[in-house]
Amino acid sequence: MNSGEKEFAYTRADFDNVRKLLYQLTRIHLADSKDSMVYSRLVRRLRALKIPGFSQYLHFVQTHEEEVQHFINALTTNLTAFFRESHHFEVLADYLSHHSVKRIWCAASSTGEEPYSIAMTVAETMGCFDAGIEIIASDIDSGALQTAQAGIYNEDRIKSIATHQRKQFFLKGKGSQTGNVKVVPELARMVTFRRINLTEHKWDIDGPVDVIFCRNVMIYFDKPTQLEILQRMVRLLKPDGLYIAGHSENYSHATHLVRHLGKTTYHPARVQSA
């Protein structure tokens, strides 16, 4: 790791100490390949705080509780899109058509595209905004949650969705908001946002839950942590509940917890095939 051309000295030991602290706080494991990402993300905090180096910054994080969330926010990934992995929303629509659904939990909501996609699917399938279905959206990143709650996005973010959905679910910005869109109030009211760290002992959510979206977040945890979180989520699900994972996640090692339905969707293992 060459720090000769960097604004701040940055060694392998700095990287190892960063990921050790992140793991202690969140149990998220950073791969060796993330060393450059860590530098580019955290150097902004060093500049903002006028801290001369990474070791001093890590000491600052550990001695200033208010900086912990900035540290976590900087290092958590927020790759998302409206109707990403679109087949999952087809599965959700089918499930809504055949089950009496009351609660849906989006457990890694990032900047809001996923829970609003869930809400759009609910509204279209049920034929109304007020279908009596509670959608809870959570994330560890408080900054991402603020973006999600605002519900304002660049127009480019919704280009991939159908024209009728853009017209029904988004308002075009004017004046200083030209080039942006905002989710309509009826859609926004369908979603409640909360900060939840999946590795903490207590979650701000109770069962039963009909559907859990937990996509492309488990890959950042080691296998024991994955199993622990999955087990807790399955306990919240109704016996015929639906668990939706990301395309890069596989639970072949957890057949005692979930039964694969196809397309990275699962039922609790206690549900037997007919």
Tokens of 264: 């990275």
d(CA 147, CA 125): 26
* 171 in a known ligand binding site: no
Instruction: Give the closest residue to 169 by CA, choosing from 129, 220, 229.
Output: 129
Residue 13 region by backbone torsions, left for phi larger than 0, else alpha for psi between -120 and 50, else beta: alpha
Contact 247, 264 (CB under 8 A): yes
Please give the DSSP secondary-structure letter assigned to residue 31. Answer: P
Please check if 84 is assigned to a binding site. Answer: yes
Q: How far apart are CA 58 and CA 21, in angstroms?
A: 8
**Residue found under tokens 């009909």:** 210
Active site includes 130?
no
Please tell me which residue in 14, 35, 139, 210 is annotated as part of the active site: 139
CA distance 140 to 59: 22
Is position 16 annotated in a ligand binding site?
no
Does 178 carry a binding-site annotation? no
Flag whether 49 is marked binding: no
- What is d(CA 215, CA 261) in angstroms, rounded to the nearest whole number? 16
Would you give the distance in Å from CA 224 to the centre of its chain?
Answer: 20
**Coil, strand or helix: which one is 210?**
strand
C-alpha to C-alpha distance for 229 and 214, rounded to whole angstroms = 10
Q: Position of tokens 């603020």?
A: 146
Q: Is 17 annotated as a binding residue?
A: no
Q: Tell me which of 41, 45, 166, 194 is the catalytic residue.
A: 41
Q: Is 198 annotated as a binding residue?
A: yes
232 is catalytic: no
Token pair of 141 as six digits: 């990143």
Give every CB contact of residue 205 below 8 A, 6+ residues apart in sequence: 105, 136, 138, 194, 196, 236
Binding-site residues for S-adenosyl-L-methionine: 78, 80, 84, 114, 139, 197-198, 215-216
Residues annotated as part of the active site: 41, 139
Binding-site residues: 78, 80, 84, 114, 139, 197-198, 215-216
